[in-house]
Structures are given as C-alpha cells and as structure tokens.
Amino acid sequence: MYEKPQLRRPIIVTLNPCNLPHDSKQPFFRHHKLFSDAYFACTIQYNSLQWYHDAGTARMGPPDDDLAVVDPTLRVYGIAGLRVADCSIMPEVTSGNTAAPAMMIGEKAADLIKRKYRLAEYRSV
C-alpha cells in the first residue's frame, strides 16, 4: 500500500476533538488505536482530500521551458485548437483566493479568441 518514511524529528499534531475521525460520522477509524500506523494508513486511504485551490498543473511558459504545457496565448503545445483557460496555467499558486485570477484568465482567453476570429466588435459591456 505505502512505505512508511522514517521521521527525523517528531511531528506535533493539534486536532480539534470534535473533528477527530473517531466520531460517529466516520466509524471505519474506530478499530484503530489513535495515532498508530494503522490509524494513519486508514486516514490517508479514506480521508484524504484537497483543501486548497489547484493551480499550476498546466503551466504557461515559453516553448523552451520543459515544464510548460501552455503558450502565452493559452494554447496547449502540440494540440491544435485546444486552449486552457483556468488557474492551472499559473506557474505558481497565488497567495490569495484564486477566484479573481480565474476570472481574469477567462476574460483574457475570451479576448484572444475574439481577436483570432476578428470578433472584437462584439465586446461585452
């Protein structure tokens, strides 16, 4: 399933008692001793999720950047007719919420597409 890494220093965990997996909402944790290896394996298997806004999975960059997936006009390298217009193009996650950058990326994508098809006169107000 997974290999347990050896810790170089102890990890201090502070949990809110009402959110401990031993509550009645998550009965599959009850048969493990709290903070045992089996407890953490079960936690990882059944209770892992993403808490932050995903970004940077389709990085924008120049053609010579090995990590870049998207060019500056939001077109995917090597796939004609496909653009990416979300926060995945950001090389790094912003320090704030990603809602505003996502809207700006979408607006920029719309402008790029309108410009390509000469639809600039149909600008939204």
Pairwise CA distance, residues 103 & 37, whole Å:
43
Residues 6+ apart with CB under 8 A from 2: 41, 44
Pairwise CA distance, residues 28 & 31, whole Å:
7
CA 118 from centre of chain: 34
For residue 92, report the phi and psi dihedrals to the nearest 5 degrees: -140, 155
Question: What amino acid occupies position 43?
Answer: T
The DSSP symbol for 4 reads: P
Give catalytic status of residue 22 as yes or no: no
Given 22, 31, 32, 53, the catalytic residue: 53
Question: Which residues are known catalytic residues?
Answer: 53
